[in-house]
A and B are shown apart, each in its own frame.
Chain A
Amino acid sequence: LAKTTQPISMDSYEGQEVNITCSHNNIATNDYITWYQQFPSQGPRFIIQGYKTKVTNEVASLFIPADRKSSTLSLPRVSLSDTAVYYCLVGDGSGGFKTIFGAGTRLFVKA
């Protein structure tokens, strides 16, 4: 099961682009990379998922290099409401997997 490593915390200012990188050195061939966002007193919420190269949706972009040993979540022009914990998750995609979220990255957006 691929283990992930993320920075514990990050600070940013409103309007800036924020990039959070996750390392997953032993990612397997059929693993997907998924990012979740969690606000205080709420369950995590799906942000974006990818397998390789780049994925973009209305909320974020996910960049995955060719070796897939890391991935970067990019949040464009953050606002105060983006203050949350962001989790990187790698799943084996083989059907029924034990998911390990880790401690996540606490992003604090300042005015």
Chain B
Amino acid sequence: GAGVSQSPSNKVTEKGKDVELRCDPISGHTALYWYRQRLGQGLEFLIYFQGNSAPDKSGLPSDRFSAERTGESVSTLTIQRTQQEDSAVYLCASSLWGSGETQYFGPGTRLLVL
């Protein structure tokens, strides 16, 4: 596995439906990050994992958003009862440890809520 992969690459859903986004980090990377990027905007931090634990969830915009990580690898970001304002690109990144380490980003999942 060369880099960070994310799936699906694109997701169109109807308002009120739940969606699950997946991130496969680089093997051996203990730190994993989720960001949201609205069109033409910068990156908005959502959550950070160190191993399987999330010491900082302060960026999650509402209780409709949740994330988990298992086996220090795959992470899923779940958005329940999606709203139109959830439409954005959701980016995942991983780094070796987390302490100022370079973050390697995936291609993102483009979510459109109709």
In the complex, which residues of chain A have a beta carbon less than 8 angstroms from the beta carbon of B97?
95
* Contact indicator B55/A43 (Cβ below 8 Å): no
* Contact indicator B106/A43 (Cβ below 8 Å): yes
B114 adjacent to chain A (CB < 8 Å): no
Tell me the complex Cα distance, A49–B21, Å: 30
B87 adjacent to chain A (CB < 8 Å): no
A96-B100 contact in complex given A43-B91, A43-B108, A44-B43, C-beta closer than 8 Å: no
* Contact indicator A87/B43 (Cβ below 8 Å): yes
B45 adjacent to chain A (CB < 8 Å): yes
* Contact indicator A96/B99 (Cβ below 8 Å): yes
Q: How far is the CB of A19 from chain B (nearest CB, A)?
A: 20
Of A32, A43, A98, A104, which is within 8 A of B107 by CB?
A43
What mask results when residues 84 to 111 of chain A are scored 1 for a CB within 8 Å of chain B, else 0? 0101000111111111111110000000
Tell me the complex Cα distance, A46–B35, Å: 16
A42 adjacent to chain B (CB < 8 Å): yes
* Contact indicator B43/A101 (Cβ below 8 Å): yes
A23 adjacent to chain B (CB < 8 Å): no
A21 adjacent to chain B (CB < 8 Å): no
Tell me the complex Cα distance, A87–B45, Å: 14
* Contact indicator A98/B48 (Cβ below 8 Å): yes
* Contact indicator B35/A98 (Cβ below 8 Å): no
Tell me the complex Cα distance, A23–B17, Å: 42
A43-B93 contact in complex given A91-B100, A93-B100, A98-B59, C-beta closer than 8 Å: yes
In the complex, which residues of chain B have a beta carbon less than 8 angstroms from the beta carbon of A93?
99-100
A96-B103 contact in complex given A43-B93, A101-B43, A104-B42, C-beta closer than 8 Å: no
Could you list 22 A-B pairs, sorted by A, with CB under 8 Å? A31-B100, A43-B4, A43-B93, A43-B108, A44-B43, A44-B93, A49-B100, A49-B102, A92-B100, A93-B99, A94-B99, A95-B97, A95-B99, A96-B55, A96-B56, A96-B99, A97-B100, A98-B59, A99-B48, A99-B103, A101-B45, A103-B41
A residues in contact (CB < 8 Å) with B = 31-32, 34, 36, 41-46, 49, 85, 87, 91-104
